[in-house]
Structure 1
């Protein structure tokens, strides 16, 4: 190759113009990909909000006490009717923050269907001895939000008392003599029945799980980004091929000149001349080896006169 750097080819008007065009196309495709992600996020937020803001339904319509908690039920607003279980079955969940204070969640079983109960987080108290923590009695109908058990195990706490470190059905089920729904209900209001006074502070429900809607838009976003990368790759491929093509004729010309210079013709011509000179000298020596100086000239002159 002639050693011409690639950047000189890139800076030619043709390839610089194509580079600007490729960058513009790639930029538009990248923006379209981001827009598709925004569409996905909007659809997801709308689906998640719909789950949390929908009208409350009966807990038993979502799943039964014999089933595990389905994912579609988490974050749903529900109504629960029943009778409060004995106060001795109430538990406290430690290290719960309310505003700028640490305290406890009060979880009380609510008997439903006569066959089991659901644990209701009635609210927050500053201490387990707070008067607001006193367990209510009698029938009640309340509204709340379904939430799942926490992952942290608190079996060791259950062996020591009724103050637990995590909100977990597999732990609490060993503390009562009846079956439990595989979920908690975070109480938001009491529709009917006695409301204790003072009552625990209302606990805001945890944010509902994300409902991933519009996953097709995520695929579209990645497609646009792949197209953008392909556009830039194609420009690079074209400019490198052009650079290689421009260099090939120079390589051929250099090879031809090198062949002429490399041929032994010049040396051979000079060598052949030297050889002929040597041969002529040898012939002259052989023919005139017995002649005296000047005899050759006289012989030639005599020959001409004849």
Structure 2
């Protein structure tokens, strides 16, 4: 590089360096986050916690905490008060014989009546059951249920005015009660009286590509990071190499009488 040219540490380049660093850091961090999500999902699928000893819900999850990867399918103990006004039916749940049916879901407070609540799948009813015919529930309960993350398959509710939902989505359930809800739900191991058992086999089938999307997103973010780094390198190279040539042209014009007169 000729003397007098702009070098990469020149103050004029600081803005480009900072912008390049921020873009690369953000894209790299997002890639690492997606990669961690992919690893956590793989680890969760390899561990069967459904037969583990039950633990109190508060040991695994707080009202405002994200769902823990070590809690998928883990039996939890819940003691509290039913919130019957929050009862809904969840469609698309087949029993072991392939019969269509619905889950009966009612929030249960974890402790005192005004404590945060967790939606509990109380049992299963055949397809076509009128919500008014579902056995009512009230008072307190002590139960054990398998912990599950809230569902978010993107299904739309064809009739938002009724009490039948297409999925156990916490954001839909929280609108029906005054209490805060946990970011999870539990499938009761023992059904309430008048209901058939609800089992984990009735959960919606998870796409085999769900975890694959996480690793693909991670690769995509890392490609963005590499692209941002390349753009930064090109800008710095062009700026630092172009400056001396521009300066030389200015000096030539200043010393050339013909050019100066023109």
Scaled by the length of structure 2, what TM-score is found?
0.54
> After the TM superposition, which segments of 4 or more aligned residues of structure 1 sit over 3 Å from their partners?
44-47, 153-158
Structure 1 gap segments, 5+ residues each: 1-43, 210-306
Q: Secondary structure at the match of 2:58?
A: helix
Partner of 2:235: none
Corresponding position of 2:138 = 137
Q: Which residue in 2 is equivalent to 1:204?
A: 199
Q: CA RMSD in A?
A: 2.7
User: What CA deviation, in whole Å up to 9, does each residue of 1:180-223 have, x standing for no partner?
Assistant: 11111000127xxxx53x2x11111258x9xxxxxxxxxxxxxx
Structure-2 change in CA distance of 1:155 and 1:174 (3 Å):
farther
* Whole-angstrom CA distance in 2 between matches of 1:123 and 1:160: 23
Instruction: Classify the secondary structure of the residue corresponding to 2:50.
Output: helix
Match of 2:76 in 1: 78
Q: Which residue of 2 aligns with 1:91?
A: 88
CA 1:89/1:107 → structure 2, altered by over 3 Å: closer, same or farther?
A: same
Determine if the alignment matches structure 1 residue 179 to structure 2 residue 176.
no
Q: Deviations over 1:5-40 (max 9, x none)?
A: xxxxxxxxxxxxxxxxxxxxxxxxxxxxxxxxxxxx
In structure 2, what is the equivalent of residue 48 of structure 1?
A: 47
Q: Whole-Å Cα distance in 1 between the matches of residues 80 and 159 of structure 2?
A: 26
Give 1:46 shift.
11
CA shift, 1:154, in A, is 4.9
List per-residue Cα deviations over 1:218-262 (Å, max 9, x = no partner): xxxxxxxxxxxxxxxxxxxxxxxxxxxxxxxxxxxxxxxxxxxxx
In the alignment, structure 2 segments of 5+ residues that lack a partner are 1-42, 207-262
CA distance in 1 between counterparts of 2:180 and 2:147 reads: 17
- Distance change in 2, residues 1:128/1:170 (3 Å): same
How far apart are 1:138 and its partner, in Å?
A: 1.4
Bigger RCO of structures 1 and 2 (CA < 8 A, at least 6 apart): 2
SS of residue in 2 equivalent to 1:173:
helix
Give TM-score scaled by structure 1 length.
Answer: 0.46
Residue 141 of structure 1: CA displacement?
Answer: 0.5
- 2:217 matched residue in structure 1: none
Aligned to 2:120: 120
Give secondary structure in 2 for the equivalent of 1:180: coil
- The CA distance in 1 between the partners of 2:92 and 2:46, in whole Å, is 32
Q: How does 1:22-61 map to 2 (within 5 A)?
A: 48-49=47-48, 51-61=49-59
Higher helix share: 1
Cα distance in structure 2, aligned partners of 1:103 and 1:156: 17
Classify 1:157/1:89 alpha carbon distance in 2 versus 1 (closer, same or farther; 3 Å): farther
| 1:95 counterpart SS class | coil
**Separation in 1 of the partners of 2:44 and 2:177?**
39
* 1:1-306 aligned within 5 A: 48-49=47-48, 51-86=49-84, 88-98=85-95, 99-113=97-111, 114-126=114-126, 127-129=128-130, 133-154=134-155, 156-157=157-158, 159-189=160-190, 196=193, 198=194, 200-206=195-201
- Count of aligned pairs: 157
